Amino acid sequence: MSQTTFSNDWLELLSDPYAVLGLSLAADDKSAMKHYRNLAKQLHPDRFAQAEPKQQEFAGQLVARLVNPAYGKIKQKRDRAELLAVLRLQVQQLERSGGFSPTSEAARILLQQAPTAAAMFYEQQVAQLAEQQYSSFTQFGNITHQLHELNLVYLQRKLGSAAQPATVQPLAQTRMPDAAPAASPAPRTPAPSAPGAVPPQPAGPQASPSTQPDAVPAPVADTMSAEDAERTIKEGYALRHYERAQQYIEKGAYDRAIEEMKDALRMVSYKSEYHSLLSYAYFLQNLPGMAAVYCRQALKLNPEDLRAQKLAKKMKLESKKAPASKKTATTGQKRRLLSNLFRR
């Protein structure tokens, strides 16, 4: 069996480990580790037991020569900080030579996005591309290059620089060894609803991988504050956990849904729908105590949360209204008594 090897061009992909792994630049320790483990499962030799030898070996090369080293470069907070500094320096060097002129459509659109929408658009595009990145070996190089461009443009937006025409230095796009597409994930089939189930409520419109904006928005000169950008990124990550939790609930994987919602709430704790969905998952898992805790919190944040209202009714949770205090009544009586005394 001939050995499938990676050229130096392929190893240059490691200049942007985030692009290799299909990770957002905002990924933290836990998100990076979780994504890495999912990739390791997707590229595990057992998945290619029936594949051709060349494809089996190439999957092994991907893990050993790219995926593992890429994760090694970002798994520690200090390493991520150093890597981001290097990528920012690359952005500044490109700007000094004239700015950006990305080749991928997603990066070009990101370059023109309004500041308030840029972070969310970036997160959505990274998520969509990451889903396709390792599903076909023949597309891996092209998708990784698109992710790299998104990362550079996003960093440019965060640095607050105006867009100027130039060329983004492309990552290697060497031709892959012939390999059939990797096995695609099995289609999701919704599980039967539990008796008395409360349907998940949407968190808002969801982007579709095939959806493209009708027109590119005009450039916006002002930039997002660092605090607003960080908040928007966290909300984007939390939304992805929320959407995955809904999918797990549809499949009856309530324990996975609970884990996703815990991750979402660690990033965004002020959305009632996140608390109510976690309550719903606990309810379906026959854990009424935990369901009640998160249901009450959802209603505290938003008394109009429909899912929380329905769950509260099913669990017969009474709203705790403070009764009139006897002490208050007694104080009122004392005031009237003192008033009568002074009148005399």
With vertex at residue 141, the alpha carbon angle to CA 127 and CA 114, rounded to the nearest 5 degrees, is: 40
What tens digit of pLDDT does each residue of 54-76 get? 888 888 888 988 999 999 999 88
The pLDDT assigned to 277 comes to 96
Q: What sign does the dihedral 211-217-219-223 (CA atoms) show?
A: negative
What does the pLDDT average to over 228-234? 70
The pLDDT assigned to 241 comes to 86
pLDDT band of 184, cuts 50, 70, 90: very low
What does the pLDDT average to over 232-243? 82
- For 135, the token pair is 């599903």
The domains of the chain are located at 8-159, 233-314
pLDDT band of 144, cuts 50, 70, 90: very high
Model confidence at 185: pLDDT above 50? no
The pLDDT assigned to 198 comes to 54
The pLDDT assigned to 293 comes to 94
Percentage of residues in the chain having pLDDT higher than 90: 32
Higher pLDDT, 331 or 37: 37
Model confidence at 298: pLDDT above 90? yes
Cβ neighbors of 27 (< 8 A, separation 6 or more) are: 18, 35, 74, 80
The pLDDT assigned to 189 comes to 39
pTM: 0.52
The pLDDT assigned to 138 comes to 83
Is residue 283 within 8 Å of 315, Cβ to Cβ?
A: yes
Residue with tokens 């443009």: 153
Model confidence at 174: pLDDT above 60? no
The pLDDT assigned to 229 comes to 62
Computed over every residue of the chain, the mean pLDDT equals: 76
Per DSSP, helices labelled H in the chain are 8-11, 17-21, 29-42, 53-61, 68-74, 77-96, 105-112, 115-133, 137-159, 226-251, 254-267, 272-284, 288-301, 306-314, 326-343
User: How many angstroms separate the CA atoms of 25 and 23, rounded?
Assistant: 6
- For 12, the token pair is 């240059």
What does the pLDDT average to over 192-208? 45
Tell the CATH superfamily of the 233-314 domain.
Answer: Tetratricopeptide repeat domain (1.25.40.10)
Model confidence at 297: pLDDT above 90? yes
The pLDDT assigned to 330 comes to 54
Scored b (16 or more CB within 10 A) or e, 136-162 reads: bbebbbbbbbbbbbbbbbbbbbbeebe
The pLDDT assigned to 2 comes to 38
What tens digit of pLDDT does each residue of 16-37 get? 999 999 999 988 888 889 999 9
The pLDDT assigned to 283 comes to 95
User: How many angstroms separate the CA atoms of 181 and 55, rounded?
Assistant: 9
